[in-house]
Structure 1
Amino acid sequence: MSEDLRIQKSKQAIKNAFLSLLAEKGFEKITIKDICTQAMIGKSTFYYHYEDKYDLARQLAIQSLKNYQQHVLIPR
């Protein structure tokens, strides 16, 4: 069963905010408050999906590797 549309939108907003902030200020300077402000969500929404910014980064890295494997490594 697929994720609820609200969950998908929240996760996408968090991801976009994180990647934007990463390019702007670097990982070490990013705070959860920064991510939530940029994504226009509350802290409780962030913590519902992720433990902390390290968990977010880990999950994004895993997803990127999966996408890479599906699109580049698998012959068509």
Structure 2
Amino acid sequence: MTTHGENFQLYETTAVSILTTVKNLKLLSSKQTWFGNGTFDSAPLSKQLYTIHVTVSENKTLPLVYCIASNKEEE
């Protein structure tokens, strides 16, 4: 739950959790360009974090979706 009362967890299995809000997904869908970032090397041995960001103004980029994988395999 966010501080604004929105659900934050979108999807969860034993392998992955996807964290975002409906508001974030609407903003994401309104943008033509998305940026992805995976933290394979700096994440703990059993976890991997992948984020999806969009630019909302000339100097501001926001992470809107967080994916946390419990199985760390580099393919």
Report the structure, 1 or 2, having the larger strand content.
2
The reply to whether TM is greater than 0.5 is no
The TM-score by the shorter chain falls in which range?
Answer: under 0.3
Relative to the length of structure 1, the TM-score reads: 0.28
Relative to the length of structure 2, the TM-score reads: 0.28
Report the structure, 1 or 2, having the larger helix content.
1
